[in-house]
Amino acid sequence: MNLIKTKPTVSYFSLGTAIATPETTNVKVCSNTGTSYILPPLPGNLRESNVTVIDVSWSRRNVSSDKWTVVLHWHHSNGCHMSTNSWAFGTRIQCSSEGKLIVDLIEGRHPGTFAHYLVEGRLSDSCHVHHFYKVEFIECKHGLHLNKYSLE
């Protein structure tokens, strides 16, 4: 797995006034064949606290529109329920026992393309979290590989 996490950025949506939306964590992944990446349900700042995830839904934004499609729902007591029909050929998804999204790409992706994910979770302290992940596929040249970054 060759990936690296970059610093989160805050996105804004403007409809008369600027309203802050949940943060986006940017992840860069080598675009070559056989790439895999793992996205955790909690961003780093929340994982360092004492809260745990009770359940989480992972959605992926369709490339041709802004429509979000739920790809899996995880609950701590009964594991994952996946909707694999929303994934392209050559992609396999899995879910870890902690609700992490695991994406295995059998085929490579074009450099400069993106995958967008929305995670919505319910936490042990009764709070809810919404977080975006933006995965950018980049070309790794001349034997250069991104540092392994486990996002754990």
2-15 residue pLDDT tens = 444 444 444 333 34
The tokens describing 38, both together, are 């793992």
Residue showing tokens 């959605």: 59
Q: Look up the pTM and report it.
A: 0.76
Give the DSSP H/E element, type plus range, for residue 30.
Answer: strand 17-30
> Roughly how many angstroms between the first and final C-alpha of the chain, as a whole number?
13
User: Does residue 151 surpass a pLDDT of 70?
Assistant: no
Q: Residue 62 is which amino acid?
A: N
Highest mean pLDDT among 19-33, 87-101, 106-120: 106-120
pLDDT tens by residue, 110-149: 888 899 999 999 999 888 889 999 999 998 875 555 544 4
How many whole angstroms separate alpha carbon 3 and alpha carbon 149?
A: 6
Cα 66 from Cα 116, distance rounded (Å): 10
CA nearest neighbour of 29 among 6, 58, 57, 61? 6
